[in-house]
Amino acid sequence: MAELLQCRSLAKNLAGLSLLLCLAAIAVPSVEAKVRYHKWEVKYQYKSPDCYQKLVITINGRSPGPTINAQQGDTVIVEIRNSLLLEDVAIHWHGIRQHGTPWADGTEGVTQCPIIPGDTFTYKFVVDKPGTFLYHAHYGMQRGAGLYGLIKVSLPAGESEPFSYDYDRSIILADWYHKSTYEQMTGLNSIPFVWVGEPQSILIQGRGKFNCSTPGTEADLCNATNPECSPFSLTVVPGKTYRLRIGSLTGLSALSFEIEGHNMTVVEADGHNVEPFVVQNLFIYSGETYSVLIKADQDPSRNYWASAHIVSRNSNTTNGLGIINYYPNHPKRNPPTSPLVGPRWNDTAPRIAQSQAIKALKGYIHTPPQTTDRVIVMLNTQNKIDDHVRWSVNNVSFGLPDTPYLIALKQNFLHAFEQTPPPEGYDAANYDIYSVAKNVNATTSNSIYRLKFNSTVDVILQNANTMNVNNSETHPWHLHGHDFWVLGYGIGKFNISTDPKKYNLVNPIMKNTVPVHPYGWTALRFRADNPGVWLFHCHIEAHFFQGMGVVFEEGVEKVGRLPTSIMGCGETKRFFKP
């Protein structure tokens, strides 16, 4: 009766409104977006994720932190109290594009001042697309101390995915160091240079196994029987199909993930549906996420190994191991076979082949612009500046300013960072990417690329030799605030005249993180249509700390009034900060 009276009233006041149409609209239940509220305390705790006890940054006592579950269109609110006592903090929502909320990207020095000890800060943003995403610290190298987790965004009720499965599970892969992030950063910034080295362990969902008998290990700090470092176990029901969401938040390592005796069908990458393809080894780089389908169709009387193996570096780190537990076997029962060894670390061909195999699923293709407005070629090199070892783009090593760019640009504090634009290319004709540079010296800058709003931008990531002979490293690059089209990969020096003719402009996958392979190039395209200031950087912690990144500005004049809660550092110290 109330609905009838409401529609009669509307029909009288709005000419042309059908009474039946109004009643029909009211009768259809609406799918309302929800608010997902989380209250987190970030603090250090002693933990033993790989049997070796050290300080770990936790969220509500956990590392990895709690998984954020939401539906497409929901608003996520995370209230964070910084209880680290002596450290600032900021958390980035990796893969969330932050349309309309660029100040919530969680990037210290770019979109906000860090959260100081004792303060509480609230992030609020909308998850606008389904898929598998991540969150992690974005201050110093805190991600490597355990401050990270997963974001799972499902489709709205009533909508279905283009692939079927019985159960949805997830894991995060990470590498693990026993030295604190402060010790690592001090070494990276020292003369002589002290490299972080290879990790002590690989963690699968926060669990690994360090050999406590390793010479030099303090006996009272390492306990191989500690239940905190028992292998991660994923229980499966024979005959069922599982969607396994896999995210990598390694600080350094590229990984090969495999499950003994089981093929994996790749169906999602960074929140986009993939034309399905089958792999035995899933190569995954820091910052990437994938969904794979696994059918529990093997002998159910035993369990099986899951393994994460370092590739692209000649590492002596023991593989990370987990157990695929076939119910009703005991979840801690070791498989009867030897653990998987993994592929050769320097076999690049299968890694490049997997990169090239990732295409957008038919029916879910976002067709890219067929032409571009601007091309920026980024040469990735290792350099020296005043005898400090740095990483650079086009011979310029990046450093964050004291005043975050978003605030500086909105408040017109242009003196807060350098105004000379960074270079858009390098001397490709004369630079030998296969040799150590004749002059390894570089410069530093905190200048940024200013992009025309809504323009189309191509970025060519060009890899090269490091300062070590016959060495080129894999770099996973992550773009904040956007997804980009991956147009192609190649080996050798990018040819700006001929290689663009080979671009995939038909069904390229969209991603937010992509590798550039040793001595190779990767071409990507994005639309500068998200008002704000966005970081683009190598997702290897040490490399970004050493300067391997750039910043894009687009349409900042369209950004609304900034919340004062993001202020309080640099030129904004005089602003009120609640």
Per the CB < 8 A criterion, the answer to whether 244 and 292 are in contact is yes
Average pLDDT rounded to a whole number, residues 514-528? 98
Same domain, 328 and 398: no
Q: Tell me, what's the pLDDT at 152?
A: 98
Q: Is 43 helix (H, G, I), strand (E, B) or coil?
A: strand
The CA-CA-CA angle for residues 330, 203, 483, to 5°, reads: 115
Any idea how long the chain is?
Answer: 578
- Outline where 394-507 has alpha helix (H): 405-410
Based on the fold, state whether residues 342 and 434 are members of the same structural domain.
no
Residue 176: pLDDT band by 50, 70, 90 thresholds? very high
The two tokens of residue 477 are 């690059």
**How many independent structural domains does the chain possess?**
3
Judged by average pLDDT, the poorest of 4-18, 240-254, 381-395, 556-570 is 4-18
**186-200, 317-331, 372-386, 561-575, range with the lowest pLDDT:** 561-575
Q: How far apart are CA 569 and CA 256, in angstroms?
A: 41
Task: Identify the band that residue 532 occupies on the pLDDT scale cut at 50, 70 and 90.
Answer: very high
Q: Give the per-residue pLDDT at 14.
A: 37
Res 480: pLDDT: 98
Check whether 259 has a pLDDT greater than 60.
Answer: yes
Which domain covers residue 250, as residue numbers?
161-363
CATH number at residue 551: 2.60.40.420
Tell which of 125, 157, 189 closes a domain. 157
If asked whether residues 217 and 358 sit together in one domain, one would say yes
Across 430-442, average pLDDT: 95
- Regarding whether 316 and 174 lie in a shared domain, the answer is yes
Whether pLDDT at 3 is above 50: no
Q: Where are the alpha helices (DSSP H) in 345-391?
A: 349-357
Angle at CA 182, nearest 5°, toward 516 and 569? 90
| pLDDT at residue 57, as a whole number | 98
Helices (H), 397-548: 405-410, 541-545
553 and 429 in one domain?
Answer: yes
Q: What is the pLDDT of residue 419?
A: 96
The reply to whether 574 falls in a domain is: no
* pTM for this prediction: 0.93
Cβ atoms of residues 410 and 494 within 8 Å: no
Q: Are residues 258 and 110 in the same domain?
A: no
Q: How confident is the model at residue 29 (pLDDT cuts 50, 70, 90)?
A: very low
Maximum separation of any 2 CA atoms in the chain, in Å: 86
Q: Quick one: which of 150, 141, 46 has its CA closest to 87?
A: 141
- The answer to whether residues 468 and 515 belong to one domain is yes
**What token pair was written down for 144?**
């490597």
pLDDT at 330 (0 to 100): 97
Say whether 564 sits in a helix, a strand or coil.
helix
Is the pLDDT at 16 greater than 70, yes or no? Answer: no
Residue type (1 letter), 427: D
Report the percentage of the chain scoring pLDDT > 90. Answer: 93
Q: Do residues 554 and 406 both lie within one domain?
A: yes
Domain boundary among 125, 140, 157: 157
- 288 and 403: one domain? no
Whether 519 contacts 548, CB under 8 Å: no
Instruction: Give dist(CA 255, CA 342) in Å, integer.
Output: 10
> 299 lies in a domain?
yes
The residue ranges of DSSP E strands in 493-543, in sequence order, are 510-511, 513-516, 520-527, 532-538
Query: Are the C-beta atoms of 262 and 244 separated by less than 8 Å?
Result: no
Mean pLDDT of 22-35: 55
**Structure tokens that stand for 397 in this block:** 């090593």
Question: Taking the CA atoms of the chain, what radius of gyration do you get in angstroms?
Answer: 25
Helix (H) or strand (E) holding 541: helix 541-545
The pLDDT of residue 262 is above 80:
yes
Strands of the sheet with 68-71, listed across from one edge: 68-71, 148-154, 131-137, 91-94
**pLDDT of res. 416:** 96
Q: Are residues 297 and 214 in the same domain?
A: yes
Q: Give the DSSP letter of residue 8.
A: H
- Let me know if residue 340 belongs to a domain: yes
Intra-chain end-to-end CA distance of the chain, in Å = 48
Q: Would you state the structure tokens that stand for residue 1, as one six-digit string?
A: 């009766």
What order of strands is seen across the sheet that includes strand 232-236?
Answer: 232-236, 320-326, 304-311, 254-259, 282-284
Q: Answer whether residue 463 shows pLDDT above 80.
A: yes
Q: E strand or H helix at 321, and its extent?
A: strand 320-326
Predicted confidence at residue 33, as pLDDT, reads 85
Residue 97, domain member (yes or no): yes
Q: Which two tokens stand for residue 93?
A: 């929502």
pLDDT band with cut points at 50, 70 and 90 for residue 558: very high
pLDDT digits (tens, 9 = 90+) for 58-106: 999 999 999 999 999 999 999 999 999 999 999 999 999 999 999 999 9
Element (H, E) at 290: strand 289-295
CB 245 within 8 A of CB 205: no
Contacts of 268 (CB under 8 A, 6+ apart): 131, 132, 245, 274, 289, 290, 291
Domain presence at residue 241: yes
Average confidence (pLDDT) over 209-225:
95
What is the overall mean pLDDT for the chain? 94
